[in-house]
């Protein structure tokens, strides 16, 4: 599958700070998705993006589908302790049919 | 509660054992997936079923054998596994095969092969 580069690998921040993470690819995607995985759980979909340039919010989370269709970012504003977890980006292209390509994840730790 | 239930949550087995992982979805979805999650690696797609038919086998070794008796149930039969097969195995479902990329995951089965 196509490789996604997700950064940073990990973040250690204080409660109340804003967080930004991104995902890049050498290939074009038609869909970008962001998932969160809590410890001991499976990933849960946070935001799905279907159009280049699209900016979508879900509460304190905001994600954008890059204009080049090769990148996406996720911002979390005013972080809280329950934001702790691993955040995965995933891309889907017509070339890979239905298969999602996942990034390696960004591990987020939030201290009170 | 995502509507996708996996059992068992934890499994320890020897290399000569035969065991099975079970997945059940209560979402009325038509596609079901097995993913392997290993530390420091992206999620790896293993198998895809759409309307009970296998549509994808991502070069998975034959010691992993999937079964999908209906659109709501998915099994992964395991035999003569290797220690490097130890990982979290995630089941997921979607409305149709990858139409929107929106997958609903179970909590995973943590497999340890001794």
- Is the Cα dihedral B84, B44, B111, B55 positive or negative? negative
Q: Which 53-82 residues of chain A touch chain B by CB within 8 A? A: none
pLDDT (average), residues B4-12: 97
CB contact under 8 A, A42 and B90: yes
pLDDT band at A96 (very low <50, low <70, confident <90, very high): low
Using an 8 Å CB-CB cutoff, list chain A residues near B98.
92, 97-100
pLDDT digits (tens, 9 = 90+) for A39-95: 889 999 999 999 999 999 999 999 999 999 999 999 999 999 999 999 999 998 865
- Which of B:16-55 have CB within 8 Å of A? 31, 40-43, 45, 48
Give Cα separations from B48 to A30, A59, A73 (angstroms).
Answer: 20, 32, 28
Tell me how far apart the alpha carbons of residues A38 and A57 are, in angstroms, rounded to a whole number.
20
CA distance A48 to A33: 4
- Looking at residue B40, what is its pLDDT? 80
């Amino acid at each position: 599958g196509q490789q996604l580069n997700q950064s940073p690998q990990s973040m250690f921040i204080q409660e109340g700070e804003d967080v930004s993470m991104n995902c890049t690819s050498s290939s074009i995607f038609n869909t970008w998705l962001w998932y969160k995985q809590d410890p001991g759980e499976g990933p849960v979909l946070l935001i799905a993006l279907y159009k280049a340039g699209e900016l979508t919010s879900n509460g304190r989370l905001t994600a954008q589908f890059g204009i080049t269709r090769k990148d996406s970012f996720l911002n979390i504003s005013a972080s809280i302790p329950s934001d702790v977890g691993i955040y995965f980006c995933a891309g889907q292209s017509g070339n890979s049919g239905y298969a999602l390509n996942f990034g390696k994840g960004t591990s987020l730790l939030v201290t009170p | 509660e995502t509507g996708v239930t996996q059992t068992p949550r934890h499994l320890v087995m020897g290399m000569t054992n035969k065991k099975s992982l079970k997945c059940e979805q209560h979402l009325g979805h038509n596609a079901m997936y097995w993913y392997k999650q290993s530390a420091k690696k992206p999620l790896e797609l293993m198998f895809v079923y759409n309307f009970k038919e296998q549509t994808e086998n991502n070069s998975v070794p034959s010691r992993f054998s999937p079964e999908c008796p209906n659109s709501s149930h998915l099994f992964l039969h395991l035999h003569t596994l290797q220690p490097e097969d130890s990982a979290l195995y995630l089941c997921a479902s979607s409305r149709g095969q990858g139409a929107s990329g929106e997958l609903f995951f179970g909590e995973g089965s943590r497999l340890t092969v001794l």
